[in-house]
Amino acid sequence: MGIVEFMRSTAGRLIRIVAGIALIVIGLAALGGPAGVIVAVIGLVPVAAGVFNFCPLGPVFGVDLHGQPRPHGSH
């Protein structure tokens, strides 16, 4: 199973959500200040990716944001 297949699975979605929540908690509770807010905002990306079932890194792996192969004519 490749990374793309895993990220499309329910487990992949849950891991993204949990990782995002962890970043938010660490940013706001442990770090605090401007750096903590930045980490918390970054944590929103994996939460949104898991909730809305998209992968922002999909294009890096040659697939679209929803894990589907890109057509050969695409840039």
31-53 mean pLDDT? 92
5-31 mean pLDDT? 90
Task: Give residue limits of the domains in the chain.
Answer: 9-53
42-71 mean pLDDT? 78
pLDDT at 68: 61
Distance CA 42, CA 38 (A): 6
Distance CA 12, CA 47 (A): 12
On whether the CB atoms of residues 58 and 67 are closer than 8 A, the answer is yes
